[in-house]
Structure 1
């Protein structure tokens, strides 16, 4: 029999063996648990009575001691008497509505191998007694209201393979004693209020494959010793206050697939040693203070699926062969840096690209015309750069992008785009909900067919040199919430809409256009 998979980052199945004999002690202990439950809306314990053999009670498997009442919306508390079930091997009560504290008496279940109490409303501190289980392998307490420190006594459970205390209100530092676990594979302490540095003693857990310390208040530097954890595949250290440089020694983590450092205070350059992790899929250093160029070893990491380096101080040009060296790239986030040069046409060779977000840099030149090869593209955000368009052929990228049937957002605002917006813009994806071209030098009339983009919710075309009337087809944009046309040379009235533009929450038509006439006096809302 197999339990459902817990809704956490841990991907484990609890294999339930068949349970022990029907003893009076076990019966009384379990009946005391039933009494402590104030609400059993699904009738999970209807069969728990004196007239029914214990081994036929729902959720109880006789043979070796298993109680599994997960996913039943049970309310109430866990009684200490449950600890009288000396033969229990597995207690699984996750995803209920249990309250109050974890009873210390449960530590009397000396044969326990699985204790899963996650996704409840348990509060109070984690009792030091929980460290006295001699055979416990899985301890899951995530998503409760537990507070106080992490007891150092948990390090006494030498048999643990999984320890998940995430999403609680735990405080204090990570006890250095947590280092010597000989069997631990997954350590989850994320989303608490933990502070202090990351103990270098964690590097002694040689069996560790997943380390999640994210969303806390950890400070100090990343211990270089973590590079000794040769079995690590996933490292989550994001949303902390970590300082210093990324240790080059982390490049020794040859099995790593996920490395997430975003939202910290890290400085220095991205170590080229990280480019030696041949199976790295996700590298996320978003919102730090990293500087210098991204090493060529990273640009040549063919396994990368996501590269997120937004909001740092990175610089230099993007490699000309970017799309060839990163063939599996799906998400490229480089916004808010100091990258310069052009957008490489080779980008179109990364045919699985879904997101290209390079806004707020110093990129320029003509936008490559072949981006339409990226048929998985959903976001193209090139805003706040110096991209140019002077001649009609400079706008050929729009015609190419009509092949991108999944495109939902395109941001071209605050560049140096000129000339006339091509009629092909009306043939963009019917899924397009955001089109931003404001603060450019675009002239001519607004293409009549633009109103065919019926799912547009945001259309911003202000601060250009647009002329003529607003196309009548605009009346078909019934999903429109934001429309800005200010600071142009437009005239006439807003076309009537079948839906009365009932979803419109922001309309900006005024301002001083280049021609000098205040447009809000000629346009009527």
Structure 2
């Protein structure tokens, strides 16, 4: 190569670098983004203005400075590698030509915009560098193109909550995405392809997050799930899956989040679940589950436990012993079951609890005074049981308590300590057997908004001065049929 040719080459390279330094992203990619801007309009100028200024910022020579746009380093070409316009309430019907020109995209998030029930842009499948694709809640419709399987670099794929369809053969493309770590098909109609899908998922060995909620599945949980040993998050709620939970799921040792709520699952929780030491969130609510294994106390990382709206008939005798293993449990919901017997006093040892709901059961006996040890509690709901005896004075120790519901029981006596509940917003004592006079020394907390005392058997007279002193926020007061004269 002659000196002249070398000089010309250096000039071209220098000019290109100089242009990028001055103008930012390559001109063809800037034009593509401007075409995209032209395709978008606000869904409703009055209701959804361009709140985040996404379109207003798309001016000037350097598109790398525009909101939602990210470019790689200049020495790598300064190409647009990330486009995130999620949840900007924009609408468009044709973005294909603009999108297909952004060949260097690695990250694309269009979620939360409106594409008017149009098909997925054909040019999407040409973006071979994509590792992240989120088109959730975008109102795309039609068949899912099998060519998505050509995006072999994908690690994150979310196509949830759209009107996309699939036939019996068109999901095989998923098996080509061998690097996939995150997959959400939530809200898609997949009833006709569930058998094929289970087989494919069993071969996606790198999956850590799988969301198939609301897909109208009506087959039993597949044992092939155990093959995906990397799964940390598994969401199958709002389907119609029958049968028992496979015992082999206890082998999925990396699970941290499991939601199988709102199905038709029956039987007992497998004892093998005691092996899920990493599990933090367990939601099996709204099923027909009948038994909790004693070994549930071995779930040493559990923070959230929702078994509400099932057919459980008893609280495990050792549930309160979870404090020795599961000191982090903060949410416990067992409402609307068939629980009988007494509330274990050892429940008061779960010191990190902030939410406890045991309502709508057949629990009897007294309220354990040890519940007063739950000094982080915000919500305590024991309504609609058969609890009796005096309300423990110790409940007044819980200064964090905001909502206390003891209605529809057989409890009696209103403790003076309730005046110490400095955060209390709602106090519901309706339909009980409160049969003493209203404590004249009781000062309702200044934070109280709702106080319901109707349908009791109290005696005597209580003045507004006694009820309302220091209760400037009280907005709802019901003393009807309480026995009190005011």
Q: TM-score range by the shorter chain?
A: 0.7 to 0.9
Work out whether 1:403 is the aligned partner of 2:420.
yes
- Counterpart residue number, 2:71: 61
Q: Distance in 1 between matches of 2:63 and 2:445?
A: 62
Give the gaps of 5 or more residues in structure 1.
1-19, 390-394, 471-525
Please give the alpha-carbon distance, in whole angstroms, between the structure 2 residues aligned to 1:335 and 1:55. Answer: 55
Aligned partners of 2:261 and 2:284 also within 8 Å: yes
Cα distance in 2 for residues equivalent to 1:387 and 1:173: 54
DSSP 3-state at the match of 1:456: coil
The CA deviation at 1:254 is: 0.5
Alignment-derived partner of residue 478 in structure 1: none
Pick the structure with more strand per residue: 1
Q: Could you tell me whether the CA contact under 8 Å between 1:39 and 1:75 is conserved in 2?
A: yes
Match of 1:361 in 2: 385
- Deviation digits for residues 185-219 of structure 1 (CA, Å, limit 9, x no counterpart): 11123345444333222222111111112233333
> Judging changes above 3 Å, is the alpha-carbon distance between structure 1 residues 160 and 48 closer, same or farther for their aligned structure 2 residues?
farther
Rounded Cα–Cα distance in structure 1 between residues aligned with 2:372 and 2:56:
59
| 8 A Cα contact 2:25 2:71, kept in partner | no
Instruction: Work out whether 1:97 is the aligned partner of 2:123.
Output: no
CA apart distance, 1:242: 2.3
- Please tell me whether the aligned partners of residues 359 and 384 of structure 1 are also in contact (alpha carbons under 8 angstroms): yes
Deviation at 1:69, TM superposition (A): 4.2
TM-score normalised to structure 2 length: 0.80
From 257, 260, 277, the counterpart of 2:283: 260
Contact 2:243 2:267 in 1 (8 A): yes
Instruction: Mark the runs of 5 or more structure 2 residues left unpaired by the alignment.
Output: 1-23, 44-49
Aligned length: 436
Hey, what does 1:341 align to over in structure 2? 365
Classify the secondary structure of the residue corresponding to 2:305. strand
- The superposition leaves residues 356-386 of structure 1 with CA deviations (integer Å, 9 ceiling, x where unpaired) of 1112222211111121110001122112222
Q: Are residues 1:44 and 2:55 paired?
A: yes
State the partner residue of 1:414. Answer: 431
| Residue equivalent to 2:248 | 225
User: Would the aligned equivalents of 1:78 and 1:101 in 2 still touch at CA under 8 Å?
Assistant: no
> Once the two structures are superposed, what CA deviation does each residue of 1:426-455 show, in whole Å capped at 9, x if it has no partner?
x21222222222222111112332134343
Which one is further off, 241-250 or 117-126? 117-126
Distance (whole Å) between structure 1 residues aligned to residue 417 and residue 333 of structure 2: 26
Compared with structure 1, are the counterparts of its residues 359 and 57 closer, same or farther at alpha carbon in structure 2 (3 Å cutoff)?
closer
Residues 359 and 381 in structure 1, CA contact (< 8 A), matched pair in contact too: yes
Match of 1:287 among 309, 316, 325: 309
Q: Secondary structure at the match of 1:243?
A: strand
Q: 2:152 maps to what in 1?
A: 134
**Aligned pairs (5 A) from 1:167-316:** 167=187, 171-172=191-192, 174=194, 175-176=197-198, 177-267=200-290, 269-297=291-319, 299-301=321-323, 302-316=327-341
CA 1:321–1:38 in structure 2 vs 1: closer, same or farther (change >3 Å)? closer
Q: 1:46 to 1:384 in 2, by over 3 A?
A: closer
* Residue 374 of structure 1: aligned partner: 398
Aligned pair in 2 of structure 1 residues 53, 147: CA closer, same or farther (>3 Å)? same
- Is the partner of 1:443 in helix, strand or coil? coil
| Distance 1:312-1:183 versus aligned 2 partners, 3 A rule | same
Tell me whether 1:158 sits opposite 2:178 in the alignment. Answer: yes
1:31 Cα deviation after fit? 6.3
Greater CA deviation, 304-313 or 110-119?
A: 110-119
* SS of alignment partner, residue 124 of structure 1: strand
Instruction: Determine the structure 2 residue equivalent to 1:515.
Output: none
Taking the aligned partners of 1:381 and 1:92, their CA distance within structure 2 comes to: 44
Aligned CA distance change for structure 1 residues 352 and 65 (closer, same or farther; 3 Å): same
Candidates 83, 87, 91, aligned match of 1:75: 91
Matched with 2:480 is 462
Q: 1:44 to 1:289 in 2, by over 3 A?
A: same
- Select 1:445's aligned residue among 452, 457, 461: 461
Superposed displacement of residue 297, structure 1: 4.2
Deviates more, 1:427-436 or 1:121-130: 121-130
Per-residue CA shift, 1:442-500, capped at 9, x if unaligned? 11112332134343333232334334xx3xxxxxxxxxxxxxxxxxxxxxxxxxxxxxx
CA apart distance, 1:261: 1.0
Q: Secondary structure at the match of 2:268?
A: coil
Does the alignment pair 1:107 with 2:133?
A: no
The answer on whether the counterparts of 1:173 and 1:197 sit within 8 Å (CA) in structure 2 is no
SS of 1:250's equivalent in the other structure is helix
Aligned to 1:319: 344
Match of 2:140 in 1: 122
Q: Return the alpha-carbon distance in structure 2 between the equivalents of residues 143 and 371 of structure 1.
A: 44
1:277 Cα offset (Å): 0.7
Contact 1:172 1:196 in 2 (8 A): no
CA-to-partner distance for each residue in 1:238-272, whole Å, 9 max, x for gaps?
222323322221221100111011112222x2111
RMSD over aligned Cα, in angstroms? 3.0
The alpha carbon displacement at 1:282 in A equals 0.9
CA deviations on 1:104-149 (whole Å, 9 max, x unpaired) are: 4322222221112234332334333223321101112344444557
Which whole-Å CA distance do the structure 1 matches of 2:56 and 2:375 have between them?
54
